[in-house]
Structure 1
Amino acid sequence: MAVLSVDGIRLAFDGVVAVDGVSFEVGESELFAIIGPNGAGKTSIFNVLSGVYRPQQGSVEFNGENLLGLRPHRIASRGMSRTFQNIELFSHLTVVDNLMLGRHNHMKYGALSAFLLLGRARDEELKNRSAVEDVIDFLELEQWRRFPVGLLPYGVQKRVELGRALAMEPRLLLLDEPVAGMNVEETEDMARYILDVREELGIPMIMVEHDMGLVMDLADRVMVMDFGRPIRTGTPAEVQADPDVIRAYLGEQHRSVAS
């Protein structure tokens, strides 16, 4: 059963087409990757899914509900969360505080109750902090929990970014270049956490990434984009063996790997 169904999306800005006729589905617990050269339309697809952009044509259904026309916070409230290529954390806040921001959709009390921290607000605070502690344990962030995020190593900051998205308890997770700028060790760590999200939490994911080794190792299926259009969707092995994909993006060195 498809968690997300995208059909015939077309997005243009002043006549410049960013996404042209894109269709795909994401199944339960699937890791679906989108790859392509810079400017291929990958991030534009994410912005459509999360409600930042509204396409001129096509449809997006998430768990059977049409998302087009909904504002980003409404889409987030339905269980879609996202990480960003450029870290979007509050550098002066601690790891715990940044993760608590991911719980905003689960906080059911008003400003006065929050200020007084009595009754329902206190109970909700304890419940949400317990959820954050689970994320800290899951991503092995315990030693950095009280540090301001801006003082942490880059790879740890990227892990906190993932943690904030997980704190939302998503039903679909969008990963925008989760290992961009990381060294080999940090990339291996992030790959392990992404696998844990799929295998232990069962959360379906869509990943945009330029690290082809990571994509081919982790993804169940891959969609290759070029100039806003999909040129091939299939398993990693199928994609690596496709002549059009090799010519447009992967390069000749992948021909020998796939053969």
Structure 2
Amino acid sequence: MERVSEAAPLLEVSDLTLRFGGVTALNGVSFTVGRGELFAVIGPNGAGKTSIFNCVNGVYRPQRGTITLAGTRLNGRSPAAVAGMGVARTFQNLGLFEQLTLVENLMLGRHHLMRTGLLAGMFWWGRAKREEVEHRAACEEIVELLELEPYRHTPAGLLPYGVAKRAELGRALAMAPTLLLLDEPVAGMNVEETEDMARYLVEVRRELDLAMILVEHDTRLVMDLADRVLALDFGTPIATGTPGEIQRDPKVVEAYLGGAA
């Protein structure tokens, strides 16, 4: 399902270097992500995959390199500012509010898009009422897209694990992003749940034409879904290419198997 974009890349990461004291987490990482592309990052534990996400969304500030989204530099911006520019993220560990319903958790993803003041929000009149109706409608579209209708009013803490991971994806989509960072979306899932999540990611991509960066240990999922793949080893890029090229690359095989290819 490879799609090659001829337009300018949506995201450009150049010479990204991140250090913690004497430890180098990322060393000269460069890649681009096209509009509508699903780009994957793979590597053994500790390879620096999540560190890339933390740099892109402003949690970490790299010592060197540039990160540009649609021509605008992200370096030095806060996570809230990066989110406001259209970057959404899911997490390895669920970050849902357990006491809130599924729809209420999705509504939290719309928060940065709301403009109503405190007073109007308290009394729920005028613009506040119109805004909530509008944003709830957007959340209902996500509920339908991810087939979450039976769980609409269920507290997040009572959701089955696979459904909760889908709700986490839904909350990220509720932010109306242009770039979605998927941090191990099938971690802890069984085979059936993994296949369901893969199907939903394909559906999201088809319906929203959304650029995604996928970090995942399930290499079969990566090779099935990704257009291009970046392989890391101890923070250093060792190969970038199509899934087929990555699977045949001796350096990638050695990094994963721990011996000569």
Q: Distance in 2 between matches of 1:213 and 1:230?
A: 20
- 2:15 aligned with 1:8: yes
- Against the structure 1 CA distance between its residues 251 and 136, is the aligned structure 2 distance closer, same or farther, given a 3 Å change threshold? farther
How does 1:83-98 map onto structure 2 within 5 Å? Answer: 83-98=90-105
SS in 1 for 2:138: helix
SS in 1 for 2:125: coil
1:206 to 188, 206, 213: 213
Q: Give, in angstroms, the shift of residue 251 of structure 1.
A: 7.0
| TM-score, length of structure 2 as denominator length | 0.95
Q: Give, in angstroms, the shift of residue 105 of structure 1.
A: 1.4
Residue in structure 2 matched with residue 244 of structure 1 by the alignment:
251
The answer on whether the counterparts of 1:240 and 1:250 sit within 8 Å (CA) in structure 2 is: no
Residue in structure 2 matched with residue 161 of structure 1 by the alignment:
168
The answer on whether the counterparts of 2:42 and 2:216 sit within 8 Å (CA) in structure 1 is: yes
How does 1:48-59 map onto structure 2 within 5 Å? Answer: 48-59=55-66
Aligned-residue Cα RMSD (Å) equals: 1.0
Q: Distance in 1 between matches of 2:9 and 2:257?
A: 28
Q: Give, in angstroms, the shift of residue 24 of structure 1.
A: 0.1
- 2:142 aligned with 1:135: yes
- Against the structure 1 CA distance between its residues 177 and 222, is the aligned structure 2 distance closer, same or farther, given a 3 Å change threshold? same
Q: Deviations over 1:103-147 (max 9, x none)?
A: 011111111111000000000010000000000000000000100
SS in 2 for 1:75: helix
Look up the equivalent residue of 2:22 and give its one-letter code.
G
Residue in structure 2 matched with residue 226 of structure 1 by the alignment:
233
Q: How many residues align?
A: 253
Q: Distance in 2 between matches of 1:12 and 1:78?
A: 26
Look up the equivalent residue of 2:26 and give its one-letter code.
V
Q: Distance in 2 between matches of 1:19 and 1:201?
A: 31
- 2:150 aligned with 1:180: no
Q: Distance in 2 between matches of 1:68 and 1:32?
A: 21
SS in 1 for 2:45: coil
SS in 2 for 1:2: coil
Q: Give, in angstroms, the shift of residue 249 of structure 1.
A: 1.2
Look up the equivalent residue of 1:5 and give its one-letter code.
E
The answer on whether the counterparts of 1:43 and 1:176 sit within 8 Å (CA) in structure 2 is: yes
Q: Distance in 2 between matches of 1:145 and 1:159?
A: 12
How does 1:33-44 map onto structure 2 within 5 Å? Answer: 33-44=40-51
| TM-score, length of structure 1 as denominator length | 0.96
> Following superposition, which runs of at least 4 residues in structure 1 exceed 3 angstroms of deviation?
none
Q: Distance in 2 between matches of 1:67 and 1:216?
A: 29
Q: Give, in angstroms, the shift of residue 199 of structure 1.
A: 1.4
Residue in structure 2 matched with residue 46 of structure 1 by the alignment:
53
Residue in structure 2 matched with residue 23 of structure 1 by the alignment:
30
Q: Distance in 2 between matches of 1:251 and 1:143?
A: 45
Look up the equivalent residue of 2:173 and give its one-letter code.
L
The answer on whether the counterparts of 1:3 and 1:62 sit within 8 Å (CA) in structure 2 is: yes
Look up the equivalent residue of 1:43 and give its one-letter code.
T
Q: Distance in 2 between matches of 1:180 and 1:188?
A: 12
Structure 1 gaps, min length 5: none
Q: Distance in 1 between matches of 2:99 and 2:110?
A: 18
- 2:242 aligned with 1:235: yes
Determine what percentage of the aligned residue pairs are the same residue: 61
SS in 1 for 2:11: strand
The answer on whether the counterparts of 1:2 and 1:63 sit within 8 Å (CA) in structure 2 is: yes
Q: Distance in 1 between matches of 2:257 and 2:204?
A: 27
